[in-house]
Amino acid sequence: ERKDPASKFSVVPYLHHFSHGLKNVSNRYKVDLVFSAPQKIGRICPLIIQKAGSSVKAGCKTNHVHSFIPCKIGTVYMIPLSCGKVYAGQSGRCINIRLQEHLRSLSSSNATFYHLANHCHSCGCNPHFIDTVILSRHHIRTTREIIEGFHINR
């Protein structure tokens, strides 16, 4: 806590080890040094500080043979299943392209490689692709994966 409001101070980004030495030097010259965090959670996951989906432009240029829901790019989505469970996923591409891939995986002989197809084959349920809900939108893959993980663990 600063005693004199008119005293000199400086704000610099925190870099481990370097910042400690800089703090020692600044103390010799009676300059208060304040560190800022370069990796704040708000910068790592911009969804926290802005409205969900505002940074992702809607615009699919693909002419789909079958559109289950309106096209959106960079989504975290939830597919309801007839057994009452839901499947959560994410994609940086158009949601309808991803849903078409899920549909094709249901008839694939390698269903064990696809989580949704594997569940549907073992449970006997069916996905309701037309009832797919967009949970969130973001252009950064890591952010989408964090949001997807949150919805999977709910």
Task: Express each pLDDT in 123-147 by its tens digit.
Answer: 999 999 999 999 999 988 998 999 9
11-41 pLDDT, tens digit each? 888 777 788 888 888 888 888 888 887 666 5
Question: What pLDDT, on the 0 to 100 scale, is given for residue 56?
Answer: 47
User: H-type helices in the chain, by residue range?
Assistant: 18-28, 41-44, 95-106, 115-123, 141-152
Question: What pLDDT, on the 0 to 100 scale, is given for residue 68?
Answer: 92
Provide the residue ranges of all domains of the chain, joining segments of one domain with +.
Answer: 9-38, 46-152
Question: What tokens were used for 118?
Answer: 């594997």
CB atoms within 10 A of CB 52: 15
Question: What tokens were used for 51?
Answer: 């409205």
33-90 pLDDT, tens digit each? 888 876 665 565 655 545 544 444 446 778 888 889 999 999 999 999 999 999 999 9
Instruction: With beta carbons less than 8 A apart as the criterion, state whether 76 and 151 touch.
Output: yes
Average pLDDT over residues 82-104: 93
Residue whose tokens read 């809900």: 133
The whole-angstrom separation of Cα 47 and Cα 51 is 7
Higher pLDDT, 118 or 47: 118
Q: Is the overall model pTM greater than 0.85, yes or no?
A: no
Question: What pLDDT, on the 0 to 100 scale, is given for residue 53?
Answer: 47
| Confidence tier at 113 by pLDDT (50, 70, 90) | confident
The whole-angstrom separation of Cα 80 and Cα 18 is 51
The whole-angstrom separation of Cα 77 and Cα 57 is 16
